[in-house]
Structure 1
Amino acid sequence: MKRLFFLIILLAMFSSCTTTQLVDNWKNPDINIFETSKILIVGITSNKKARKEYEKRLKNEYELRGIDAVMSIDILDDEFTFDEKSPSELAKVEDQLIEDGFDAILLTKVIGVEDRIAFNQSYEDEKNLDRNFKDEYYMYQDIYYNPEYYEQYAVYHAETSLYCICATEDRELIWKGYIDVVDPSSVKETVKDYVNLVMYALEEQQLINKKNTSEELES
Structure 2
Amino acid sequence: MRYLIVFISVLSFATFLIGCRSATLIHDYKNQDIKSFQASRLLVVGISADKEARQLYETTLVESLKKEGVNALKSITFFENSFTDQKQSLQQLKAIEKKLLRARVDAVLFTKITNRKDRVTLVNAYQNFAQSYQTFKNYYYNNQSAYLENKHEQVYTIETSLFCICPGQERELIWRGEMEVIESKRLSRNIHRYKSLLFKTLKQKKLVLN
Shared topology, TM-score over 0.5? yes
1:91 and 1:15, CA in 2 relative to 1: closer, same or farther beyond 3 A?
same
Q: Structure 2: any 5+ residue segments left out of the alignment?
A: 1-14, 126-143
1:182 and 1:16, CA in 2 relative to 1: closer, same or farther beyond 3 A?
closer
Aligned to 1:54: 57
TM-score normalised according to structure 1 size: 0.72
State how far apart, in whole Å, the 2-side matches of 1:98 and 1:88 are.
Answer: 16
AA of the residue aligned to 2:109: L
Report how many aligned residue pairs link the two structures: 178
Could you list the per-position Cα deviations for residues 135-188 of structure 1 after superposition, in whole angstroms to 9, with x for gaps in the alignment? Answer: xxxxxxx99xx9x52222321111001000111222100001101111332111
Aligned to 1:179: 179
Match of 1:69 among 55, 69, 72: 72
Does residue 33 of structure 1 match 2:36? yes
Aligned to 1:5: none
Identical amino acids, percent of aligned pairs: 31
1:13 deviates by 7.0
AA of the residue aligned to 2:166: C
State how far apart, in whole Å, the 1-side matches of 2:22 and 2:28 are.
Answer: 18
State how far apart, in whole Å, the 2-side matches of 1:21 and 1:193 are.
Answer: 9
Does residue 195 of structure 1 match 2:195? yes
**Contact residue 18 and residue 193 of structure 1 kept, 8 A:** no
Pairwise CA RMSD of aligned residues? 2.6
**Contact residue 109 and residue 158 of structure 1 kept, 8 A:** yes
Matched position secondary structure for 2:169? coil
1:65 and 1:193, CA in 2 relative to 1: closer, same or farther beyond 3 A?
same
Matched position secondary structure for 2:153? strand
Does residue 23 of structure 1 match 2:26? yes
State how far apart, in whole Å, the 2-side matches of 1:170 and 1:206 are.
Answer: 21
Matched position secondary structure for 1:198? helix
1:119 deviates by 4.8
Aligned to 2:135: none
State how far apart, in whole Å, the 1-side matches of 2:39 and 2:174 are.
Answer: 11
Does residue 115 of structure 1 match 2:118? yes
State how far apart, in whole Å, the 2-side matches of 1:21 and 1:13 are.
Answer: 14
